[in-house]
Structure 1
Amino acid sequence: MDVDLRKLRYFVAVADELHFGRAAESLHITQPVLSRQIRALEDELKARLFLRDKRGTALTPAGAQLLTDARPLLANADALRRRVGRAARGSDRFTVGFMPGLVVSAAIRVLAARYPSLTVDVVRTGWYDQTDVVHDGRVDVSFVRLPVDQRGLQVRPLLAEPRVAVLPVDHRLARERSIGIADLADEHLVQDPDAVPEWRDIATELRTGQRRPTPAVRTVEEKFEHVAAGAGVLVLPSSVADFYTRRDLTSVLIDDIGPNHVCLAWDASRRSPLILEFAAIAEEHHRVFQAT
């Protein structure tokens, strides 16, 4: 049996909303059409996917299993479409991903000067998708900050930069020229502890099992807002802290932990001479990737 990807997309939309009307609106189709497509999918799979009553819509166990399997299947289909499209376009377009705080324009200018007919695009990435954009074909290369899962990637080191603590300006450590990571042991970290293993290993709230709930934040800007509000502290590469200078925040060097490493990453299965040439350019101009 072949599963229709369009029906799967409709199913995921309903599963996300748990409301046929809102899902139909997000898909830009009518609710009767959506209901018919879901019924057709249930008929094909010989399983009921949703329970609908006066209280609302809920997934059945079969629906929950399908949702788990459907997301990666749709993501792979999207990645396939992008890779095929990239191959069809040939070598007239090159896309570069970059993390906050990194300035990559110098390397791009060199590449553009060598290939005047080449269109070079840029994509701003984050901690949660900096390698996803490589795997799914959204970018040809990406400037990433370690640590990342390097499986399936070719990774070339470029530079290392110190890490700093981002603090409210009225914090007890705000006037220090530098601190040690132990000075932050009693603080709350407004980020994943695994991103700062040196803090994780000594943190009082982790050792005592009393870590406060951390808000669901994904962007640097959101994290800064929580720090400014006094909810905790951040440990970041110095270029990121410099790039997002704010009057209500300050950054202090942490002098006893290792630096953050910046690398160029690309799909290890690709053999594009253009990627290798850009990697050489990036190595040559690694100093320009510091924040302005």
Structure 2
Amino acid sequence: MDVHGRDLRYFVAVADHLSFTAAAEALYISQPALSKQIRALERQVGAELFVRDSRTVALSPVGTALLPHALRLLATWEMAELAVESAKATQGAALAIGISTSPGRGLLPAVRSRFTTAFPDAKPVLRLVGWDDPTAGLADESADVAFVWLPLVDSDRYHCLVVATEPRVVALPQSHHLADREHLDFTDLLDEPFLALPTSAGVLRDYWLALDARAGRAPIIGAEVSSTEETYEALVNGDGIVLLATGNAPLVTRDGVVTRPVHGVPPCELALAWRRDDKRPLVRGYAQACALVVGERAPTTA
């Protein structure tokens, strides 16, 4: 039995009003058209749904049996329509991608290609966030997903997908007394002034100062920096040295600045992060696209 949803709505309207005239008015159709559709439904069902006489309309036993199922089917379909409309609206929405510096490594174009294939009407928008916010806009919800360095402050609020693991290098002025060495141990750097992230960066500031490799010795802070350009200028000025991810070394390795491999500190991790309570299809879709690019499976957000 292949019943059209429209016919079920007509049936429910008549059952609700127990009047073809009132039901037709509520449905904004003519009474003859309504009667015709109900008769067609009865032929499909193979039994009368209403007992009619010249003055009254009542549900037949078959109509009484059908009514609760018809109501459930219509309610389920209404929910399906709402879900579809919501998904369509989401698909065409903007997705804010927070970054503090360009992730590089070919990530953005590769992820964008996969993401827009799955969500052709979506609008991924990059949002540059200062280094004073280590979540790159996730914390204040100005970004929907973000490329961040780990460790992430309030990490229990977020899902993270590691997209790159790289050794750390040290950037220093070309005139620095250690610049001629091909490799450096972190112990060689303990007495050097370091460039630090703003204090609001919290655990990420501590990480790039390598507090865990200092055996309790407090770092010397030469200056605070909030961007790549500030870092480069501070290096050229001789304000201090700084640890960087290998992939970010080209951002500051220009006139007057060199980078050297450094031993004694563990590799760093770049991750895509998103809020655990954000279940939107666009967010999950971007995470899945990123996971496909890096060859890993994204954590579930269910």
Q: Is the 8 A contact 1:97 1:130 kept in 2?
A: no
Q: Give, in whole Å, the separation in 1 of the partners of 2:131 and 2:148.
A: 9
Aligned to 1:285: 293
Change (3 A) 1:116 1:202: closer
Aligned to 2:148: 144
Structure 1 position 272, deviation (Å): 1.8
Structure 1 position 234, deviation (Å): 0.6
1:138 counterpart SS class: coil
Report the TM-score, using the length of structure 2 for normalisation: 0.58
Q: Give, in whole Å, the separation in 2 of the partners of 1:169 and 1:111.
A: 42
Give per-residue Cα distances to partners, 1:164-208, cap 9 Å, x unaligned. Answer: 10011121222322211111012101115613353575389738x
Letter matched to residue 221 of structure 1: E
Aligned to 1:206: 218
Aligned to 1:62: none
Q: Is the 8 A contact 1:99 1:145 kept in 2?
A: no
Q: Give, in whole Å, the separation in 2 of the partners of 1:204 and 1:151.
A: 27
User: Which residue among 171, 184, 188 is the counterpart of 2:189?
Assistant: 184
Structure 1 position 275, deviation (Å): 1.8
- Within-5 A mapping of 1:1-292: 90-92=90-92, 93-103=94-104, 104-131=108-135, 133-149=137-153, 150-192=155-197, 194-196=206-208, 198=210, 201-202=213-214, 206=218, 211=220, 214-286=222-294
Q: Is the 8 A contact 1:101 1:242 kept in 2?
A: no
Give per-residue Cα distances to partners, 1:38-97, cap 9 Å, x unaligned. Answer: xxxxxxxxxxxxxxxxxxxxxxxxxxxxxxxxxxxxxxxxxxxxxxxxx9x644211212
| Deviation beyond 4 Å, 4+ runs, structure 1 | none
Compare 269-278 and 177-186 and name the one that shifted more.
269-278
Structure 1 position 269, deviation (Å): 0.6
Change (3 A) 1:95 1:205: same
Q: Is the 8 A contact 1:160 1:261 kept in 2?
A: yes
Structure 2 stretches of 5 or more lacking a match? 1-86, 198-204, 296-302
Q: Percent identity?
A: 24
Change (3 A) 1:226 1:197: closer
CA-based RMSD of the aligned residues comes to 2.9
Q: Give, in whole Å, the separation in 1 of the partners of 2:206 and 2:169.
A: 16
Letter matched to residue 195 of structure 1: Y
Q: Give, in whole Å, the separation in 1 of the partners of 2:124 and 2:177.
A: 46
Q: Give, in whole Å, the separation in 2 of the partners of 1:191 and 1:158.
A: 24
Q: Is the 8 A contact 1:98 1:122 kept in 2?
A: yes
Structure 1 position 216, deviation (Å): 4.4
Q: Is the 8 A contact 2:223 2:239 kept in 1?
A: no
Letter matched to residue 239 of structure 1: G
Structure 1 position 245, deviation (Å): 2.9
Q: Is the 8 A contact 1:157 1:263 kept in 2?
A: yes
Structure 1 position 132, deviation (Å): 5.6
Q: Is the 8 A contact 1:181 1:198 kept in 2?
A: no
Q: Give, in whole Å, the separation in 2 of the partners of 1:196 and 1:184.
A: 13
Structure 1 stretches of 5 or more lacking a match? 1-86, 288-292
Q: How many residues align?
A: 198
1:182 counterpart SS class: helix
2:290 counterpart SS class: helix
